[in-house]
Amino acid sequence: ITTFGFKYGTPIDLDMMFDTRFLRNPHYIKELQPETGNDEDVQKYIMEKSESVEYLEKIVDMLEFVLPHCIKEGKTHLTIGIGCSGGKHRSVTFANKLYEYFSKKEKIKVLLNHREQEKWSL
């Protein structure tokens, strides 16, 4: 799972991509702006809205459908991109939630890469 900010360009090596920019943005909340999707209060802010929960459920459902077919076809890895404006809040929150969920599955090894992490303190 790779998180990224659309304002820095879309990764070209993704198999699937999900856009979280339609969800409310913690960047505009003064207390949350310096934090990231790794922080509990940012995750709570994003996930307390029903559309966030529903979107995450739909992504999980899609991946639950796709992954067995990928395995059946002999695909050894699947690169999933989760994007938001800056790659710091919404995408990171969603990637962390997906990581938590799919890391518990047998036969699936999940790696997490936050592409914009070096920019978070800027």
pLDDT tens, position by position, 47-106: 999 999 999 999 999 999 999 999 999 998 999 999 999 999 999 999 999 999 999 988
What is the dihedral angle through the alpha carbons of 45, 48, 53, 55, rounded to the nearest 10 degrees?
A: -50
What pTM was estimated for this model as a whole?
A: 0.94
Kindly report, residue by residue over 10-37, the tens digit of the pLDDT: 999 999 999 999 999 999 999 999 999 9
Scored b (16 or more CB within 10 A) or e, 59-86 reads beeebeeebeeeeeeeeeeeebbbbbbb
Distance separating alpha carbons of residues 21 and 6, to the nearest angstrom: 9
Distance separating alpha carbons of residues 30 and 21, to the nearest angstrom: 18
The β-bridge partners of 17 are 81
Element (H, E) at 63: helix 50-72
Amino acid in the structure at residue 51: E
